[in-house]
């Protein structure tokens, strides 16, 4: 296990705790997922973020089964595909994901997109509450919800999400959404924390100097920026050396001037879909 792991856990609004640093497997084939999740578990990662639509739940499950790690040390997240919205569909989708993962429960089950044109996410959420009560998911949450979608859960459901997993990186810092959800006790998870490889981290203005000052890489500085703000991250990489690099982020602190400098990179530039448009 790397010296930097296991990661610290932070409290959710339902009493459970989530490792603040995990490992994501978007755009990874099942076989590759089995290899890299196995390597990530060997490196000390305990929090894995997958989704039905990534098509690699079986590979993640095989990696978990191949390592002798107590279940309560692991934190496994998967997500409801937007094509499976609706009460009955959701009640079928989680057991199917569990079967592929080879697990009795997930630690966190998320609505992947609100898909507002389908007008079914409140029904899905009621199924989530039921499955949480039945023990199939320890915690339940959402992804890509805007304030208008969270407000509907506030008015029409019993439970607020434990997390909202949203696109968040230095060029898209999501200040307004965080200011809305964090006072409600909803933890923010950053997807594409490293910009999904869509821009060159070393070329972000000022980053090379901050990285040099701390003896860290640009990626480590950016992950530190997330962690210092209380965000949950699970960077994806297929490379073993980067898994270790991405976990070695708990031994430096960015000062206020450095945090402010990184905050100035926010240009409101989304790299993924807009939640109102993904239906």
Q: Which is nearer to ligand NDP, 246 or 258 (CB)?
A: 246
Q: Which is nearer to ligand NDP, 15 or 215 (CB)?
A: 215
Cβ(86)–Cβ(115) under 8 Å? Answer: no
Give the shortest CB-1-to-ligand NDP separation in angstroms: 19
Tokens representing 138? 């320890």
Q: Which is nearer to ligand NDP, 219 or 231 (CB)?
A: 219
Any idea what DSSP says for residue 52? Answer: G
Query: Taking CB under 6 A as the rule, which mask of x and - marks residues 98-117 in contact with ligand NDP?
Result: --------------x-----
Among 12, 18, 25, 40, binds ligand NDP (CB under 6 A): 25
Q: Which of residues 110-169 bind ligand NDP (CB under 6 A)?
A: 112, 143-144, 165
Q: Which stretch binds ligand NDP (CB under 6 A): 120-128, 130-138, 230-238, 262-270?
A: 230-238
Is residue 235 a contact residue for ligand NDP (CB under 6 A)? yes
- Give the residue ranges of DSSP H helices in the chain: 30-43, 57-66, 87-101, 121-133, 147-156, 175-181, 207-214, 218-228, 240-247, 256-263
Give the shortest CB-223-to-ligand NDP separation in angstroms: 8
How far is the C-alpha of 260 from the C-alpha of 263, rounded, in Å?
Answer: 5
Is residue 46 a contact residue for ligand NDP (CB under 6 A)? no
Marked catalytic residue, from 45, 54, 109, 121: 54
Pairing outcome for strands 9-11 and 17-19: antiparallel
Cβ(27)–Cβ(66) under 8 Å? Answer: no
Half-sphere exposure for 135 (CA within 13 Å, toward CB) = 2
Q: In the β-sheet with 232-233, what is the strand arrangement from edge to edge?
A: 23-24, 47-49, 75-80, 106-111, 137-143, 163-167, 187-191, 232-233
Task: Count the residues of the shown chain that bind ligand NDP, applying the rule CB under 6 A.
Answer: 27
Among 20, 56, 174, 237, binds ligand NDP (CB under 6 A): 237
Active site residue 54: yes
Is residue 270 a contact residue for ligand NDP (CB under 6 A)? no
Q: Which is nearer to ligand NDP, 136 or 219 (CB)?
A: 219
- Give residues with Cβ within 8 angstroms of 79, minimum separation 6: 50, 51, 52, 53, 109, 110, 111, 112, 143
How far is the C-alpha of 216 from the C-alpha of 202, rounded, in Å?
Answer: 11
Q: Which is nearer to ligand NDP, 27 or 154 (CB)?
A: 27
Is residue 224 a contact residue for ligand NDP (CB under 6 A)? no
Is residue 29 a contact residue for ligand NDP (CB under 6 A)? no
Tokens representing 69? 């790690």
Q: Could you give the 3-state DSSP secondary structure of residue 145?
A: coil
Query: Taking CB under 6 A as the rule, which mask of x and - marks residues 185-214 in contact with ligand NDP?
Result: ------xxxxxxx---x-------------
Q: What is the binding site for ligand NDP (CB under 6 A)?
A: 24-26, 49, 112, 143-144, 165, 191-197, 201, 219, 234-239, 242, 245-246, 272
Q: Which residues are catalytic?
A: 54
């Amino acid at each position: 296990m790397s010296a930097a792991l296991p990661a610290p856990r932070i409290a959710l609004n339902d009493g459970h705790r989530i490792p603040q640093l995990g490992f994501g497997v978007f755009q990874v084939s099942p076989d590759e997922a089995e290899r890299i999740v196995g390597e990530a578990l060997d490196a000390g990662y305990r929090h894995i973020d997958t989704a039905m639509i990534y098509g690699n739940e079986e590979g993640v499950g095989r990696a978990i089964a191949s390592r002798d790690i107590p279940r309560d040390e692991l934190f496994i997240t998967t997500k409801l595909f937007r094509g499976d919205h609706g009460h009955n569909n959701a009640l079928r989708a989680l057991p199917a994901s569990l079967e592929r993962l080879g697990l009795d429960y997930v630690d966190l089950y998320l609505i992947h997109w609100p898909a507002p044109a389908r007008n079914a996410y409140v029904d899905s959420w009621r199924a989530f509450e039921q499955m949480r009560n039945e023990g199939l998911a320890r915690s339940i949450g959402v992804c890509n919800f805007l304030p208008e979608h969270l407000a509907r859960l506030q008015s029409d459901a019993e439970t607020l999400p434990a997390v909202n997993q949203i696109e968040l990186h230095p060029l898209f810092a999501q200040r307004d959404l965080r200011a809305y959800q964090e006072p409600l006790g909803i933890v923010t998870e950053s997807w594409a924390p490293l910009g999904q490889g869509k821009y060159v981290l070393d070329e972000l203005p000022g980053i090379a100097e901050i990285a040099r000052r701390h003896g860290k890489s640009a990626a480590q500085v950016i992950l530190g920026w997330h962690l210092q703000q209380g965000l949950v991250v699970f960077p994806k990489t297929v490379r073993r050396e980067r898994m270790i690099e991405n976990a070695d982020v708990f031994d430096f602190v960015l000062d206020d001037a450095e945090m402010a400098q990184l905050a100035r990179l926010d240009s409101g530039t989304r790299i993924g879909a807009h939640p109102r448009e993904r239906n």
